Amino acid sequence: MDITTAKVIVTGGASGLGEATARYLSGAGAAVALFDRDADKGQAVAASLSNASFSTVDVTSEESVSAGVANAAKAMGGVTGVVNCAGIVTGARTVGKKGPFPLEMFQRTIDINLVGAFNVARLAAVEMAKNAPNGDGERGVIVNTASIAAYDGQKGQAAYASSKAGVAGMSLPLARDLAGLGIRTMAIAPGLFLTPMLESLGNEMMAELAADVVFPKRLGAPEEFARMVRFIIEMAYLNGDTIRLDGGLRLP
């Protein structure tokens, strides 16, 4: 898929990896439509980009996502790609000092990270199916965000790791489901990236985290995630799998 003619929805586009992806793709010539619950930040990011729009979207709501996809298709003249970056991080031991892991927290994590990604993917795929196929018969591409926690989940990550393992596990069946429509599905499993969440921990803590990375000895740059997204969008033979992007890191 030619990045200069791509029309891409980016969820979680108001900050972190989503914002970096929206900025990078827009800079490469793609049209982007940002989805986020934070209207102020989302509108500000969209306003700072060329050929960008914003919709306030709750990824767990069918009505909200349906409206957002319709808005994106109208603003961009169609939809050819989705990058699902919306998500939350939660942490609690299965049984801790305050008792068992709160079930509501577990369900909310799964609902946003896993169900939300599927919700956006399925509804955007309906719009992508309307596209005329390119030379490869391709009509669209979906890129979901998993995590290395899907494979190396640490203490307190039962909910988060489960949600991201689900995202990784969706890649192949979604690719098979959507093959007849000419829509590819991939996932990226990032390691530790320099996002506002990690920056809030302070330089000392970030240095400790980076020490476990095999090489290069640093946290990932959000633009590196965005560059991987672009690579997937442009590389038509990538389908049905999850790519680790972690500098060789294996969580202890």
Classify strands 31-36 and 52-56 as parallel, antiparallel or unpaired.
Answer: parallel
Annotated active-site residue 160? The verdict is: yes
* Separation between Cα atoms, residue 197 and residue 132, nearest integer Å: 40
User: Which one, of 249, 245, 190, 244, lies nearest residue 215 by Cα?
Assistant: 249
Q: Decide if 198 contacts 156 (C-beta within 8 A).
A: no
* CB proximity list for 66: less than 8 A, separation 6 or greater: 123
Choose, from 24, 151, 160, 237, the residue flagged as catalytic: 160
Classify strands 183-190 and 140-145 as parallel, antiparallel or unpaired.
Answer: parallel
Q: Which two tokens stand for residue 116?
A: 């939300």
* Separation between Cα atoms, residue 10 and residue 36, nearest integer Å: 9
* Separation between Cα atoms, residue 64 and residue 48, nearest integer Å: 24
Active site residues: 160
